Structure 1
Amino acid sequence: VILVRVIDGMIRKGQQIKFMAAGTTHLIDRVGAFRPKIEQLPDLGPGEIGFITAQIKEVAQARVGDTLTDAKRPAAEALEGFKEVQPVVFCGLFPVDAADFEKLRESISKLRLNDASFSFEMETSAALGFGFRCGFLGLLHLEIIQERLTREYDLDLITTAPSVVYQIELTHGGGHIELHNPADMPDPSKIETISEPWIQAVIYVPDEYLGSILKLCQERRGIQKNLTYVGGRAQVTYELPLNEVVFDFYDRLKSLSKGYASFDYEQIGHREGDLVKMGILVNEEPVDALSMIVHRGTAEVRGRGMVERLKELIPRHLFKIPIQAAIGGKVIARETISAMRKDVTAKCYGGDATRKKKLLEKQKKGKAKMREYGSVSIPQEAFIAALRMGEE
C-alpha cells in the first residue's frame, strides 16, 4: 500500500504509472483513501491524498518522495524535493557460517523495508566469503542493525572495519583497479599511486562549539574553505577525505556539539594520498576484518589505539597473546595479553628451591606449546568497539 498526494491530473484503477526515480512501470490495482477506515474510490484528483496498490515485485522500487506519472504521457521532469538518504559509514557484514548467507540476504531485505537510511549491495571476500557491503548513518546505526540481525534473526556476523572505495594505479602499465576491501589490497611494490575519495562537507554548528569542530576537522586532514555565520550559527565548509569521515567523524561531531551540529556532504572526486594498509595481527595471525587503509601520518596513532582497545576486549587465554598493528612487515604498535596461570608451586611446602623452578620451567614450556597450536576467539563486540577511536 503506497500513500500518495495528487499534485496534477488523475489517478485511476487500471492505469499504467511510472516511478520517475526508480524508472519502473506498474499497473494500479486499487485506488482509495483512509477516512479513517479504508474506502475504495474510482480515482483521485488534484490536491487529494489517498493510497494505491500496484503490481510491485520489490518494495525497494517504491521510494519515499518519488514522483508518479502516467506511463503513456509521462511528465517532463520529477517534482522537486526527492533526495535519497546518503549513508555516512560503509562496512561489510559477513555470516560466520557460510551456509547462513541466504538467511542474511532475507534478513537485511526485511530490515530495509522499515529503515530507508540503510543500504546494501553484495560483496565477496577471499578471506570471509560472501557477504554484503552496507551503508549506515553512523557507528550507532551500525550497532543497532547488527544487534537486530543477531537478536531478531539469530545470525552470527563478522563486521569489517568501515572503509571507502579507493582507486589504485598499478605499475608497469598494469591499468587501474577499484579497491573495496582493504584485505584485497595488492602488494605495495605493484602500486604506483592510491587515490581516495574526497568530499566537500558543510557543517552548521552553534558558535560556542565552533572551536572543537574546527579542531576535529583539522585532525581528520581537512582543508577549510569557508566560514560564515547564519543567524547565530556558524556555517563551516571543509574538504575532507571520505576515509576519515566514515571512521567515526559523524559520532564525534554530534558528541562535541552535544547533538546541535548538522552535517551534509557531496563527493568532489578522488585525490592521491600517502595511504598504506594497516593490518592487525592477533597471536601472529592476521585478522582481515580489522585491516584498514589509513594515511601514513596517522597510522601509528590509530594502530596504537586499536591494539590498546583489543587488549581490553579480548578475554585472557591460557597462553600469552601478542596483538600487533603492522604496515607490511613493520610492526608499528604492540600490546600483550598476559596468560592465565595456575599456581603450580602451591603443593610445595618448603623443600629445595630447584623443585619450584623445575615446575615453573615445565609450565613455561607448556604455555609456549599452547601458544603455538592454540587459537584465539575474538568476541564480536571487539570488532565494533575497537573502531571507536575517539574519547569516550
Structure 2
Amino acid sequence: MDIKHKRNFCIIAHIDHGKSTLADRFIEKARLVTSRGPMGTQLLDNMDIEKERGITIKSQAVTIPYTAADGQEYELNLVDTPGHVDFTYEVSRAISSCEGALLLIDASQGVEAQTLANLYLAMEHNLEVIPVINKIDLPSADIPACLHQIDHDLGLDPDMTCFVSAKTGEGVDSLYEAIVKNIPAPEGSDDNSLKALIFDSHYDPYRGVIVHCRLFSGTLKTGDEIKFMHSDAVYKVEDCGIFQLQLVTKGELKAGDVGYFIAGIKTISDIRVGDTVTGIKNPASEPLAGFKEVKPVVFSSIYPVDSNDYEELQEAIERLKLNDASLVYEKDNSAALGFGFRCGFLGMLHLEVIQERIEREFDLSIVFTSPSVRYIVHMKNGETLYIDNPLEYPEVMRIDYSEEPYIQANIITPTQYVGPIISLCLEKRGVQSAMNYLDEKRVELVYEMPLAEVLFDFYDRLKSISRGYASFDYEVIGYKKTDLVRLDILVNSEPVDALSQLVFKDNAQSRGRMVCERLKDEIPRQQFKIAIQGAIGGNIISRETISAYRKDVTAKCYGGDISRKRKLLEKQKEGKKRMKMVGNVEIPQQAFLAVLKTNEDKQ
C-alpha cells in the first residue's frame, strides 16, 4: 500500500477514560473479531493482571484495514497506551512511533492531570492531536463543560472534537474519518537505507525474541541481514509481518509500517528498546533519535525464597526487561536472604506489577525488601554518595548532610474536596506552590513534596478522600536537604537487613512502631518469647513481643506447697532462656510483604 494511505496513531488519556474500550470498537468495526468477548474483555489487554485490575500496563499495537467514505482503502496502525502515571514511559515509546494521537476525555470527569501530562508528551513529539470526548451516553456527561476545558485548559480547537461512546460504538465511524483526514501520512521512502525504531519486544520460547518496530525508511524483507546499531549485533530476518491480535506474516515491511520481525535472537542483551535497526548492504549513517533514558524512582531488592531458584529468577528478570524497558536491575546479596537483584521501578504500581508477573508467569516464590528512593549523602570528607539501599548508608558521624528527591505534584480536584486534600499534602510534608481555579467546580493544586512520602499510601488516600474524583500526576524536580536516619528492625535481637529502611527522622518512631506491630501479626509463635524491635543506631525506638507457647508444668500439682509450683516454673523459665539463645526465628514471606503495605492499611 502507498505510504500516503497509511496512518499511525495512538490513544492517550488519563487512567480509566476508556482507551482500551475504544480500541476494542476500532477492532470490531474492522471485523478483526466477530464480536466482543464475554463480560466486555479488553481485546488488547492480554495479561491476566491487566484484566483483573482493569488497567493497561503494556502498550499494544494493531494494524486495522479501513475503507473510507470515498472508497479509498487505508491502513491504520493503532497503539493502545496505559493511563497510570507509573507507565508514562510506555506512553512516550508509543508516541515516538506515531504521527498522531487521539486525546480521550471522559465526558463525566473532564480534563484530568494525566490528560494534561500526556498532551504535553504528544506535543513534544509534534504529533497531530485530535480531542475525543468519550462516554457521551452517560447520564452525567457534561459535553459543553468538556468543550470549554478543551479550549481553555488544553488550548486545542474545540471544533475538531469528535464525540464517541466507546461502550456502544456511537460516533466511531466519524472518528475513523477524522483520523484519515487530520492525521498526516508517515514520511519516508522505501528506496532509502533501512531505519527501523524498536519500540517494544517480547520473548517467545520457541522463536526467540520478537521485536516490535516502526519503519521510518527503507524496506525489511524475510531473508535480509540486519544490524542493531547500539550493540552491532548482526542477524538474518526469518519472518516479519504486522499485528492483528495475532502475528500476521507479510514477508515484507515498508516505510511507515508498524510491525514485527523475528531473527532467531536468543541473546536478550542484544535487544535494546529505542535502538535503530538497519541493513547490512546499505546501512544508515546514523541512528534515529531513541527514547530518553528512563530514570527509576523506587528501589527494592528481589530475592528468591528458595536460594536454588536464583538462576530462574535471573532469567525471569531478563525476560521481563525485554518486555518492560523501564525495569532497571543489578546483582545484590543479603546476609538474611542470600543472592538476589536490586531493581529500580517507576513507582509502587510498577513494583507490584513486576512482583505479580514474576510469580505468575515464571512460577517463582520471591521476597521484596522495603522500597526506597535514591538519596544523596554528602560526607564530611567531601565525598558524595548516591544511596538507594539502606544497607549502604554510612555511619552518622561521617555524614555532613543528606538530600532526598522532591516532586512537583499536580492534583486536579472538585472544589468540595480541597480542604481534606490540603491536610493530606501537609501531613506528607508538602509545600503549596500554586492553587488555580480552572472553573467554578474544579481546582488545580500544585505541591512540592518528598517523593518518599508519596510512594506508599498517598495515591490510595487521595482517591478515598475525594471519592475517586481527584486526579494526580507528578514529576521529579530535584533534591532538597533532609534529616535522614536508618531504621533497623531486630527480631530476637538479630538485625534483619531486608527490613531496614531509610526514613525521615521525625517519622521514624511511628514507622518503627507500625513495622513491629505488623511483624507481630505475621511471625508465628515459638517455644520462647520473641522481641521485635525498631532501632536507630543503638537506640531502641519501638518494641513488640510475641509471647511463647507454654506448657502448663504445674498441672500435675494438686494442692501442696507453693514452693513446689514455683520450683517447676523456675525450671521452665531456665529452659526457655536456653532455648532463646540457640533458637532461630524463621520470618515467613508474607511478613516481608506485610511491611510493604504498612502505610496503605493503617487508615
TM-score (norm 1): 0.83
Aligned-partner Cα distance in 1 for 2:407–2:247: 47
Report how far residue 276 of structure 1 moved: 0.9
Equivalent residue pairs, number: 382
Aligned-partner Cα distance in 2 for 1:339–1:355: 23
Higher relative contact order (CA 8 A, sep 6+): 1
1:322 to 517, 522, 531: 531
Report how far residue 209 of structure 1 moved: 3.9
Structure 2 CA distance for partners of 1:147 and 1:31, relative to 1, 3 Å: closer
2:268 is matched with 58
Report how far residue 110 of structure 1 moved: 2.8
1:38 is matched with 248
Given that 1:88 and 1:246 are in contact with CA atoms closer than 8 Å, whether structure 2 keeps it comes out as no
Residue identity opposite 2:284 in structure 1: K
Verify: 1:72 aligned to 2:280, yes or no.
Answer: no
How high is the sequence identity, in percent, across the aligned residues? 48
Query: Match of 1:225, SS?
Result: strand
Given that 2:370 and 2:595 are in contact with CA atoms closer than 8 Å, whether structure 1 keeps it comes out as no
Aligned-partner Cα distance in 2 for 1:298–1:34: 50
1:195 to 398, 403, 428: 403
1:285 is matched with 494
Report how far residue 227 of structure 1 moved: 2.1
Residue identity opposite 1:333 in structure 2: S
1:298 is matched with 507
Of stretches 382-391 and 223-232 in structure 1, the one that deviates more from structure 2 is: 223-232
Q: Deviations over 1:278-322 (max 9, x none)?
A: 111111111111111111111111111111111122121111111
Given that 2:228 and 2:275 are in contact with CA atoms closer than 8 Å, whether structure 1 keeps it comes out as no
Given that 1:92 and 1:159 are in contact with CA atoms closer than 8 Å, whether structure 2 keeps it comes out as yes
Query: Match of 1:108, SS?
Result: helix
Residue identity opposite 2:367 in structure 1: I
Query: Match of 1:336, SS?
Result: strand
Unpaired segments of 5 or more residues in structure 1? none
Given that 1:138 and 1:251 are in contact with CA atoms closer than 8 Å, whether structure 2 keeps it comes out as no
Structure 2 CA distance for partners of 1:145 and 1:41, relative to 1, 3 Å: closer
Aligned-partner Cα distance in 2 for 1:251–1:87: 21
Given that 2:316 and 2:358 are in contact with CA atoms closer than 8 Å, whether structure 1 keeps it comes out as yes
Verify: 1:221 aligned to 2:433, yes or no.
Answer: no
2:556 is matched with 347
Q: Deviations over 1:316-351 (max 9, x none)?
A: 111111111111111111111111111111222222
Aligned-partner Cα distance in 1 for 2:417–2:465: 7
1:272 is matched with 481
Aligned-partner Cα distance in 1 for 2:249–2:394: 61
Structure 2 CA distance for partners of 1:209 and 1:102, relative to 1, 3 Å: farther
Verify: 1:377 aligned to 2:589, yes or no.
Answer: no
Residue identity opposite 1:119 in structure 2: L
| Alignment of structure 1 residues 257-268 onto 2, 5 Å | 257-268=466-477
| Alignment of structure 1 residues 71-150 onto 2, 5 Å | 71-74=283-286, 77=289, 89-114=298-323, 116=324, 119-125=327-333, 127=335, 128-136=337-345, 139=348, 142-143=351-352, 145-150=354-359
Verify: 1:185 aligned to 2:397, yes or no.
Answer: no
Of stretches 32-41 and 370-379 in structure 1, the one that deviates more from structure 2 is: 32-41
Given that 2:367 and 2:593 are in contact with CA atoms closer than 8 Å, whether structure 1 keeps it comes out as no
Q: Deviations over 1:355-387 (max 9, x none)?
A: 222211211221222222211111111112123
Residue identity opposite 1:40 in structure 2: K
Aligned-partner Cα distance in 1 for 2:259–2:496: 53
Structure 2 CA distance for partners of 1:129 and 1:260, relative to 1, 3 Å: farther
Aligned-partner Cα distance in 2 for 1:60–1:165: 28
1:362 is matched with 571
Verify: 1:237 aligned to 2:449, yes or no.
Answer: no
Aligned-partner Cα distance in 2 for 1:291–1:174: 26
Given that 2:297 and 2:373 are in contact with CA atoms closer than 8 Å, whether structure 1 keeps it comes out as no
Given that 1:201 and 1:264 are in contact with CA atoms closer than 8 Å, whether structure 2 keeps it comes out as yes
Query: Match of 1:163, SS?
Result: coil
**For the aligned residues, what is the CA RMSD?**
3.4
Query: Match of 1:386, SS?
Result: helix
